[in-house]
Amino acid sequence: MLRGSPERELAAWWEAEAVAATKAQAAKEQVRVDPGAAGEPERKAGEEQPKEPVPAPPCAAEEGDARILPRPPPTLPVSLTKPEPASGLCPHGKSRIKGRSCKRSSGQPDEYCSLRPVTVDSSKARTSLDALKISIRQLKWKEFPFGRRLPCDIYWHGVSFHDNDIFSGQVNKFPGMTEMVRKITLSRAVRIMQNLFPEEYNFYPRSWILPDEFQLFVAQVQMVKDGDPSWKPTFIVKPDSGCQGDGIYLIKDPSDIRLSATLQSRPAVVQEYICKPLLIDKLKFDIRLYVLLKSLEPLEIYIAKDGLSRFCTEPYQEPSPKNLHHIFMHLTNYSLNIHSGNFIHSDSTSTGSKRTFSSILYRLSSKGVDIKKVWSDIISLVIKTVIALTPELKVFYQSDIPAGRPGPTCFQILGFDILLMKNLKPILLEVNANPSMRIEHEQELSPGVFENVPSLVDEEVKVAVIRDTLRLMDPLKKRRESQSQLLGKPLASKENPPHSDLASASRGNANPDAHLPSICLKQVFPKYAKQFNYLRLVDRMANLFIRFLGIKGTMKLGPTGFRTFIRNCKLSSSSLSMAAVDILYIDITRRWNSMTMDQRDSGMCLQAFVEAFFYLAQRKFKMLPLHEQVASLIDLCEYHLSLQDEKRLVCGRSGISSGSRLQPSATPQEAAPPAPPAEGRPQPCTDGAHKVSHSRHSLS
Ligand code: ADP
């Protein structure tokens, strides 16, 4: 259970925001389906029946990792084109002349109007291009579909940060994100957190990494079976590099022959299979939620109010040797189920094989389910998962965009795949760095004739996510706001809406966003930082790690860096000699490098550093639980480093050379030194990673 009952606080979010979405859904339901049938487990009488088998598209791309998929034709279905709101008026109501040259009626140049439109390079948008085009049009921004010689404000990439060399603006990918959310890396990152906070991270199924942990897997399964002979588990094996259900299978026992084949061929994760999922219409389904990582430092996370639910196409039964191979029963991937004859394309967002998440919540609430609790549990899951991912992302970031060098700032939309258990507990299945943003699907119009047709459910959810991500990242927003303040005319906001666009336009203070719906992305961090900051221990370890990396651009700590870390943090003692420190470094580094087979550069990776840190913490603070041991050691390290920084600052100010090179301060957090631990002893961390403590030592 989280401290300070964040569930209750988080639930308020649902109350304020998402209830509105379910109410809107309810209104739609009144029109579309028989309201009395909502919540019934059976397929409703009026609901669409399975259609004729839909032949598989050449590459069904939905909701998986889009990295390997070809770009669809860049045409926009006519039916998707929304009418241009405010009919090309400039913000004060006059028609635009070539988009930009509008003057205020006073005759003065209207700085507000003269702001150029935000520019977006969409040349690498790939499968998200259609949704992106609609979003840019709705925002009245300027798209550069073939790129631009001059820099753009925003670069929208379909695949990864490394798509191109960009030195300014904002790009919709973080360096290293694709690597971080791969099945093995995600499992490792979550496992570190599970070691520190087992209760808080029990939303991720127990996982083992193959082939390294095969023996451990066999031993642990045997141990549980010995303790409880009635335990009949099922496991799901997922290849590390797979996506869209590719290569996934279920097994009942570690001795399964297919597992031996996987061990020989490719790295994978084997995971406890969740046998009792929540069913709707007797079908298993999962949830795709869109999460915006707006910034790493400071951490800013937003969650979209609505997502998608993807349904299996064969009624669910608990796994048995007879049905283990039934992929349409056990795997919810759209890319697989679209091949099933039972797949239902629907024009409604609340029926068919793909629906909005809000339609599911509406249906559950009509059954009396506490959907506020469901929603707050999901928010917790998302924040905790991002907290597990950010430490290594920071290492990637400083390596790709070293401080002081020109580079873009980053943001990224992530696709969280979540399964609800029968008891409504959300379980994290995976995180997608490139969630599909396609808004059409392929349909067979007549035998052998295929056409891409708009998918309403996709458009409703995905266009809102892209458009509102752009709104949040709008680089000119601050300038517009400050110019508006200069003019003494506050922008109309959703909280303080104008009577009408035209009325406010005629007053000259139109909000260019006034014609848009309220933002569908809600901030959850730092909004709920207080409840979650205590979990950010690895983040603080990453700050220490980055500080001692030395040469910018590397991701691994050399032996000298590790020694300097030990010395500067005063961790060596009579019982931990520097020779023992060297052995510790060699042992752990060698093991991690052989495990990850990462030959890019030699040295200690962050995860190896974390392992070494745990070891040192356990030695130093024997009697405490692990997370307190670790927090105490972090406090101690931060304390000693802050004293050094202060000393150097004082020397610097008084013109005395300290004789040693200043360590680069890795993060803003390190700029403010922590207060010394009470009575010279470290205190357990209470307020988490962003504890900006004020030194009691005067600087002058
Ligand atoms: P992929 O990237 O190939 O889609 P996922 O991890 O998303 O891999 O797994 C594919 C599907 O398998 C999921 O959509 C879900 O339906 C099912 N699945 C995955 N892991 C589990 C699990 N631990 N328990 C139950 N079902 C699972």
Query: Residue 12: pLDDT band by 50, 70, 90 thresholds?
Result: low
**Centroid of ligand 1 to alpha carbon of 5 (angstroms):** 30
Among 5-14, 377-386, 423-432, 642-651, the least confident range? 5-14
Task: Classify each residue of 347-377 as buried b or exposed e, where b means 16 or more C-beta atoms within 10 Å of its C-beta.
Answer: ebbbbbbbbbbbbbbbbbbbeeeebbbbbbb
Least confident of 137-146, 447-456, 665-674: 665-674
pLDDT at 45: 33
- Please provide the average confidence, as pLDDT, over all residues in the chain: 78
Cis omega (within 30 of 0) for bond into 402: no
How many angstroms separate the alpha carbon of residue 185 from the centre of ligand 1? 16
Pocket perturbation via mutation, ligand 1, pick of 333, 336, 340, 354 by most ligand atoms within 8 A of CB: 333
What average pLDDT does this structure show over 123-137? 93
Query: In what helix (H) or strand (E) does residue 131 lie, and over which residues does it extend?
Result: helix 129-139
52 alpha carbon to ligand 1 midpoint, in Å?
26
The pLDDT-based confidence of 481 (bands split at 50, 70, 90) is confident
270 CA to centre of ligand 1 in angstroms: 11
Kindly report the protein residue whose alpha carbon is nearest to atom 20 of ligand 1. Answer: 429
Amino acid sitting at position 402: P
Kindly state the tokens that stand for 162. 């490394």
Among the atoms of ligand 1, which is closest to the Cα of residue 239? 3
96 DSSP assignment: P
pLDDT at 79 over 50: no
Mean pLDDT within 633-643: 97
More confident residue, 666 or 192: 192
Q: Which atom of ligand 1 is nearest to the CA of 273?
A: 24
Residue with tokens 């220490």, as numbered in its chain: 544
Mean pLDDT for the stretch of residues 231-242: 93
Q: Where is pLDDT greater, at 13 or 79?
A: 13
Distance 355 CA to ligand 1 centre (A): 18
Reported residue count of the chain is: 700
Q: CA-CA distance, 240 to 181, in Å (whole number)?
A: 10
* Mean predicted confidence (pLDDT) in 455-475: 95
Q: Which atom of ligand 1 is nearest to the CA of 332?
A: 16
What is the residue with the minimal CA distance to atom 21 of ligand 1? 273
Ligand 1 nearest-atom number relative to CA 272: 23
Query: CB of 362 within 8 A of CB of 28?
Result: no
Number of the ligand 1 atom closest to the C-alpha atom of 277? 25
Atom 23 (ligand 1): residue with closest C-alpha? 273
Give 430 Cα–ligand 1 centroid separation in angstroms: 7
User: Which amino acid residue places its CA nearest to atom 10 of ligand 1?
Assistant: 245
Going from the Cα of 461 to the center of ligand 1, the distance in angstroms, rounded, reads: 22
- List, in sequence order, every residue forming a beta bridge with 416; answer none if it has no partner: 289, 431
Ligand 1, residue 312: give the atom nearest the CA: 16
CA 69 to ligand 1 center in whole angstroms:
20
Kindly report whether the peptide bond that precedes residue 526 is cis, defined as omega within 30 degrees of 0.
Answer: yes
Taking CA atoms only, the protein residue closest to ligand 1 atom 19 is 429
CA 197-200-205 angle, 5° bins: 95
Q: Please give the pLDDT value at position 196.
A: 98
Cα 292 to ligand 1 centroid, rounded to whole Å: 22
Distance 313 CA to ligand 1 centre (A): 15
Least confident of 45-59, 327-341, 431-445, 587-601: 45-59
Of residues 646 and 541, the one with the higher pLDDT is 541
Mutate to test the pocket of ligand 1, among 429, 434, 436 (most ligand atoms within 8 A of CB): 429
Q: Considering only 44-48, 292-296, 332-336, which range has the smallest mean pLDDT?
A: 44-48
Which range has the top average pLDDT, 205-209, 546-550, 656-660? Answer: 205-209
Pocket test for ligand 1, best of 331, 353, 431 (most atoms within 8 A of CB): 331
Res 163: pLDDT: 61
Pocket test for ligand 1, best of 238, 244, 269 (most atoms within 8 A of CB): 238
Give the C-alpha distances (Å, rounded to integers) separating 128 from 74, 256, 364, 563. Answer: 10, 40, 31, 47
pLDDT value of residue 530: 97
Q: Is the pLDDT of residue 443 over 90?
A: no
Q: What is the per-residue pLDDT for 380?
A: 98
For ligand 1, what atom is nearest to the CA of residue 271? Answer: 23
Q: Which atom of ligand 1 is nearest to the CA of 333?
A: 14
Residues in the ligand 1 pocket, defined by CB under 6 Å = 64, 205, 236, 238, 242-246, 248, 271, 273-274, 286, 331-333, 417, 419, 429-430
- 331 Cα–ligand 1 center, Å: 6
**CA angle (593, 599, 604) in 5-degree steps:** 40
pLDDT, residue 510, reads: 54
Mean pLDDT of 357-375: 96
**What is d(CA 395, CA 149) in angstroms, rounded to the nearest whole number?**
31
From CA 482, how far away is CA 465, in angstroms rounded? 26
Nearest CA to ligand 1 atom 22: 273
Query: In the structure, how many helices (H) and strands (E) does the chain have?
Result: 22, 19
Distance, first Cα to last Cα, the chain: 45
pLDDT at 656 over 90: no
**Averaged pLDDT, 531-554:** 92
Using CA atoms, how far apart are residues 606 and 176, in angstroms rounded to an integer?
Answer: 13
Question: Omega before 239 cis (within 30°)?
Answer: no
**Does 335 score more than 60 pLDDT?**
yes
| φ, ψ dihedrals at 492, nearest 5° | -65, 140
pLDDT band at 506 (very low <50, low <70, confident <90, very high): very low
Which atom of ligand 1 is nearest to 284's Cα?
16
Return the ligand 1 atom nearest residue 246 CA: 3
Distance CA 221, CA 115 (A): 63
pLDDT at 97 over 80: no
* Centre of ligand 1 from the C-alpha of residue 18, in Å: 26
CA–centroid distance, residue 429 to ligand 1 (Å): 6
Kindly give the residue spans of alpha helices, DSSP state H, lying in 278-345.
327-330, 334-337
CA 414 to ligand 1 center in whole angstroms: 16
Alpha carbons 424 and 170: distance in angstroms, whole number: 38
Residue 174: count other Cβ atoms within 10 Å of its Cβ: 27
**C-alpha span between 286 and 324 (Å, rounded):** 18
- In the DSSP assignment, the letter for residue 601 is S
Distance 241 CA to ligand 1 centre (A): 14
Residue 170 in this model has a pLDDT that exceeds 90: yes
Q: For residue 66, name the pLDDT band (cuts at 50, 70, 90).
A: very low
Ligand 1 centroid, distance to 244 Cα (angstroms): 9
